[in-house]
Structure 1
Amino acid sequence: MSARARIATLYLLGFAIDLANMFIFNAALPALGRELAASVAELAWVGTIYMLGLTVAIPLGSWLARRIGERRVLVASLLIVAVGSIGGGKASGIATLLAWRLVQGLGGGLLVPVGQSMAYRAYPPEDRAHLTAVVMTVALLVPALSPAIGGVAADHVSWRWVFIGIAPLAAAIAVLALVWAPVDRLTGAKPALDIQGFLLSAITLFCLPLGLTLISQTGSGPQAMILLVIAAVAGVAYVRHALRSREPLLDLRLLSDPMLRTGSIIYLCVPGVFTGVNLIASLYFQDRLGLTATQTGMMMLPWAGAAFVAIMSTRKLFASRGPRPLFLVGMALTSVGVLLLATPFAGQFLVRIASFIAMGFGASLCTSTAQTAAFTSIRTERTAEASALWNINRQLSFSLGGSVLGGLLGLFLVTNGGAGTAMPYRTCFVIASILIVLPLPFVLRLQPLEPSV
């Protein structure tokens, strides 16, 4: 295996670990909730708090790599993930489990940008398209297979092994990184951290989803409002700081580019909302429709097949049609797929299959088109900064999707007195279908693609 192939393999393995941590727990959530006596809102935080750790740590990964070296950051991040996985598997309560999930997220957030940078730098520009295809394949297969694996573990062993099983994998990849990754040779001045920007962004990204989650909990309204006000104040302060700073942690001025701006909004409203829909569907299928965790996890397989077709179609269609029609078709199909779950026919197997096929094709069409469109008009020298902004938005979208819809479900369940009806779930699906088409005004304003500069 060549040196560049080894580096790419390290990144892909680490990326797979990160994706598994996002999706493998969905089908195991009901079992986890029963054993730890966790509410729906608390279960939503199993995914959300991991996303928060990712979001906070992603910009620090590149900065730390310049300070102490990429190889050291890569190894340390994998070991942090391993420790967090062991701790989560041994957790005796939901609060302890969430703390260890945050540790996992911090490790994953350091891993992703550093591994990606190493892999793409190892390949010349003419070979990066092949690397991207492999990355997208991993990004498709792992989310598709992980829920099924998590469901089988929850049904036949224990949900705890979903956590513990990740630890030896992360540790083994860390050993490979010590052997395969090039030794760090640091040169030049060590960059200073934008401390003010980091603190303001961390406060915003932590308080916003926490406040949204607490809204659904009885008696937590005042605390939720305080957190949301803190998030709003810190967010506005960060925007002002970023627009005035010469080297902000995240350069928001890049969002003046319509392609990057629209792609970011699409990510918030389509794959981000789907994260919440998948969470609610997992609970709905098992708590109301009587499906097993294994059957619930298997629903991602037709999703994956449709998603693969969409991803393979995007490259050709993007060049011939441009992003606007692809976005329109993707949003429409995803919204229709979610609405199918809101109908009384969702208990039928074929209706669920049709729903996940529509969501898989539509969401993946939007995602792959957004990924391509976002960097078409960004100057080469600004690509690294745009990439950091893009990855923060990507993680924020997943975090908000689970927080908003999970919080709404908790609120609707409380409002209905915990009655065993499907209405709270169906109401969330309808709201999600509306959120998915919110980017429509931005998409309609997109102009035909121009040559990049």
Structure 2
Amino acid sequence: MAYRSKVTLVYLLGFALDLLNMFVANIAYPDIALELHASVTQLAWISNAYMLGLTLIIPLSVWLAAALGERRLILGSLLLFSCASLCVARAGSIEALIGWRLVQGLGGGLLIPVGQALAYRQFPVAERSRLTAWVMLIALLVPALSPAAGGLIVQVLSWRWIFYVNVPLALLALLLAAVWLKADDPTPERPTLDSRGLLLGAGTLSLLLIALSLLSEAGSRYLGIFGLALSAVGGWLYVRDGWRKAAPILDLQLIKGQWLRVAMLVYLFIPGVFIGTSLIAVLHLRDLGFSAVQTGALMLPWAIGSGLAITLGKRAFQRFGPKPLLIGGMIAQSLGILLLTQIEQPQGPLPILAYALMGLGGSLCSSTAQTLAFLDIHTSRMGHASALWNINRQLSFCLGAALLSSLLGALGPSSSHAFILCFLCAAALTFSPLSAILRLDTAKLLTHITPHPPKEKTA
């Protein structure tokens, strides 16, 4: 097996573990609440703590990779993730479970950006769409299959096995990483740590994630708005402090590159909007008489649409560039969301078509954005680019859910008219990156990704 295939497999195993822990825990909430006497707010923090750990550690991952080496950091993160998963499964109180979920997120947050940077560095520009296709396939399969698998585990065993199952998977990734990954090159000098940037960045991200969770509940909405204002001030201070630093905790100058900037904007809105839409769609469909099984089964047409998008995107990116794929994806997702407003009963093809279109459009945009993001990133800056990309990815999941659930709460969740307005708002938000996409220079991009044959030597 080629070395780049080994690196890719280790990264994809880690990425699958990250997604599994983001999507599978929800299915166990009723059993956790019953056994550990947890409130609804505490249950929400089972996911929030994991997301917080992921997001907080990502800025530090670049410095740690430089100080310790990528191989050692990946091994350490997998070991930390395994130990934290075991402790989560054995937690005797909801407070302990939430605390260990935070530690589990710290382990995953170290693994994902470092593994992604290492994997993308192994592929030349013209072949990075191939790696993206594998990444998106994992991003498709894990969210689609994990709720059903998690429900079966909870029903047959217990909620604790949702977290126990992480341990052998993480140890397998640890073993493969130890055997396959090359030893780190010795560094001549220890990198300096941007302590002020780290404190400002971590503080801003913490405020933002906490504020978004507060926005989702009616009783704490004004406190959430205040938290958003504080996080905006913190973000401004962080950018002002780190924009021209010689060795910042994150290289913000990368955002000046159009391709990474547009890709981050696309990912922030389109997958983020789908996460929020799917959350309120579940509530709407249950009100219309859909059973839990019928609602969960709608992820199957979503998965089929996503799989088609990944296949189309891989081939079409090299030929047509990102612009038609992104525009087509936005149109498809928006149409799917609009179809949700027309559903009146559990029977009929509309729900299936709506989710298939959302899967097709959302995955067409996210897979294209993932490829676009790293096209012009030099290998020496891939760690910083990967960290920025993954922070943006985590925020997109939180932002869409918080925004649309807050809108639904403000309009009144008992009104069918409120759901319709939320869906219309989500369909409009899907087109937020359109002006930035239209400014992409397709000719320049296609020239960049087309491999040039070596010049023949003249006699």
Provide the TM-score with structure 2 as the length reference: 0.85
Q: Which runs of structure 2 are paired with 1:193-342 in the superposition (5 Å)?
A: 193-221=193-221, 223-285=223-285, 289-292=289-292, 295-342=294-341
- Distance between the aligned counterparts of 2:98 and 2:280, measured in 1? 19
Q: In the alignment, is the contact (CA less than 8 A) between 1:27 and 1:282 conserved in 2?
A: no
- 2:455 corresponds to which residue? none
Q: Which runs of structure 2 are paired with 1:390-401 in the superposition (5 Å)?
A: 390-401=389-400
5+ long unaligned stretches in structure 1: none
Name the SS for the 1:446 alignment partner.
coil
- 2:53 corresponds to which residue? 53
- 2:442 corresponds to which residue? 448
- Distance between the aligned counterparts of 1:331 and 1:217, measured in 2? 29
Name the SS for the 2:448 alignment partner.
coil
| 1:251 maps to amino acid | D
- 1:431 corresponds to which residue? 425
Is 1:404 matched up with 2:403?
Answer: yes
Task: State the Cα distance separating 1:167 from its structure 2 match.
Answer: 2.5
- Distance between the aligned counterparts of 1:76 and 1:297, measured in 2? 36
- 1:364 corresponds to which residue? 363
Deviations 1:30-61 (A, max 9, x none): 6656765543x665554444233222222322
- 1:385 corresponds to which residue? 384
Q: In the alignment, is the contact (CA less than 8 A) between 2:54 and 2:110 conserved in 1?
A: yes
Name the SS for the 1:233 alignment partner.
helix
Name the SS for the 1:244 alignment partner.
coil
Q: In the alignment, is the contact (CA less than 8 A) between 2:290 and 2:346 conserved in 1?
A: no
- Distance between the aligned counterparts of 1:201 and 1:286, measured in 2? 40
Task: State the Cα distance separating 1:5 from its structure 2 match.
Answer: 4.0
- 2:190 corresponds to which residue? 190
Task: State the Cα distance separating 1:359 from its structure 2 match.
Answer: 0.7
CA 1:94–1:363 in structure 2 vs 1: closer, same or farther (change >3 Å)?
farther
- The range that moved more, 180-189 or 196-205, is 180-189
Name the SS for the 1:449 alignment partner.
helix
Q: In the alignment, is the contact (CA less than 8 A) between 1:288 and 1:422 conserved in 2?
A: no
Task: State the Cα distance separating 1:393 from its structure 2 match.
Answer: 1.4
- The range that moved more, 354-363 or 379-388, is 379-388
- 2:163 corresponds to which residue? 163
Q: In the alignment, is the contact (CA less than 8 A) between 1:6 and 1:180 conserved in 2?
A: yes
CA 1:425–1:379 in structure 2 vs 1: closer, same or farther (change >3 Å)?
same
- Distance between the aligned counterparts of 1:422 and 1:90, measured in 2? 42
- Distance between the aligned counterparts of 1:25 and 1:402, measured in 2? 17
Q: In the alignment, is the contact (CA less than 8 A) between 1:47 and 1:402 conserved in 2?
A: no
- Distance between the aligned counterparts of 1:382 and 1:165, measured in 2? 35
- Distance between the aligned counterparts of 1:189 and 1:266, measured in 2? 38
Task: State the Cα distance separating 1:207 from its structure 2 match.
Answer: 0.9
Deviations 1:162-202 (A, max 9, x none): 22322332233323433443344533111112111111111
Name the SS for the 2:440 alignment partner.
coil
CA 1:34–1:354 in structure 2 vs 1: closer, same or farther (change >3 Å)?
farther
- The range that moved more, 369-378 or 306-315, is 369-378
Q: In the alignment, is the contact (CA less than 8 A) between 2:267 and 2:393 conserved in 1?
A: yes
Task: State the Cα distance separating 1:369 from its structure 2 match.
Answer: 1.7
- Distance between the aligned counterparts of 2:145 and 2:262, measured in 1? 30
CA 1:90–1:275 in structure 2 vs 1: closer, same or farther (change >3 Å)?
farther
Q: In the alignment, is the contact (CA less than 8 A) between 1:212 and 1:407 conserved in 2?
A: no
- Distance between the aligned counterparts of 1:376 and 1:124, measured in 2? 9
Is 1:22 matched up with 2:16?
Answer: no
Task: State the Cα distance separating 1:385 from its structure 2 match.
Answer: 3.3
CA 1:187–1:24 in structure 2 vs 1: closer, same or farther (change >3 Å)?
same
- Distance between the aligned counterparts of 1:96 and 1:282, measured in 2? 30
Task: State the Cα distance separating 1:328 from its structure 2 match.
Answer: 1.8
Task: State the Cα distance separating 1:156 from its structure 2 match.
Answer: 4.6
- Distance between the aligned counterparts of 2:48 and 2:156, measured in 1? 26
Task: State the Cα distance separating 1:145 from its structure 2 match.
Answer: 1.6
Deviations 1:391-425 (A, max 9, x none): 2212221222233334444555xx56xx5x65555
Name the SS for the 1:345 alignment partner.
coil
| 1:102 maps to amino acid | L
- The range that moved more, 47-56 or 200-209, is 47-56
CA 1:29–1:341 in structure 2 vs 1: closer, same or farther (change >3 Å)?
farther
Q: How many residues get paired?
A: 446
CA 1:364–1:207 in structure 2 vs 1: closer, same or farther (change >3 Å)?
same
- Distance between the aligned counterparts of 2:115 and 2:378, measured in 1? 23
Q: In the alignment, is the contact (CA less than 8 A) between 2:336 and 2:356 conserved in 1?
A: yes
- 2:454 corresponds to which residue? none
- Distance between the aligned counterparts of 2:349 and 2:29, measured in 1? 24
Deviations 1:249-285 (A, max 9, x none): 2233332333322221111110122222333344555
| 1:404 maps to amino acid | L
